[in-house]
Amino acid sequence: MRTYKNERCTLKTHPASLPAGGLFDPLDERQQVAFRYAVDAINSDRTLLSHARLSAQIEVIPPNDSFRGSRKVCSLLKSGVAAIFGPQSGQTSAHVQSICDALEVPHIENRWDFRLTRDAYSVNLYPHPSTLSQVRLVLVLVLVSTTPSCCQVSGFSPDKNSY
């Protein structure tokens, strides 16, 4: 067991059990289900974590409430979580990211965030806006080139291929 201490929180890790903390808004029931499903999927594949099992520890916090968010983060860290997922709120997420960076705990986000830089221990799983734009462009180009379509343009003659 390893213990990390900071003026705000204490982190304990247990090698046989890896608790993963999830911070969710009260209306994020689908994300909570997805989080639990991801933990179950990782546990069912013994090639991923052969000597440990993940456990989901979910906390619900109001959006944009950094005070309650920090208290919940400290509570999760005291229980020994290996990483923290969420929350969706930008202000609260930045606060959680700061605490996780100070204690060198991975912080995983899945929300739209336009910032190009990340702190050392943060990962945002949501694609960057420019990447999403490129994907949409490629999808449109592929769909246009592979699906037969009928398009009528005023002044276009299909026999002459000109306007």
pLDDT tens-digit map of 73-127: 999 999 989 899 988 887 788 888 888 888 888 888 877 655 555 555 555 555 6
- What integer pLDDT is reported at residue 84 of this predicted model? 92
- Mean pLDDT (whole number) for 138-159: 63
Q: Count of H helices and E strands in the chain?
A: 4, 7
Name the pLDDT band for 163 (thresholds 50, 70, 90): very low
pLDDT tens for residues 101-113?
888 888 888 776 5
CB 21 within 8 A of CB 76: yes
Residues, the chain, total? 163
How many CA atoms within 13 Å lie on the side-chain side of 61?
Answer: 30
Tell if the pTM clears 0.95, that is, is over it.
Answer: no
Chain Cα centroid distance, residue 15? 24
What's the CA dihedral at 69, 114, 121, 93 to 10 degrees?
0
CA of 95: how far to CAs of 88, 89, 107, 125, in Å?
A: 12, 10, 11, 18
For 2-146, the fitting CATH number among 3.40.50.2300, 3.30.390.30, 3.90.550.10, 1.10.443.10 is: 3.40.50.2300
Domain map (residue ranges) of the chain: 2-146
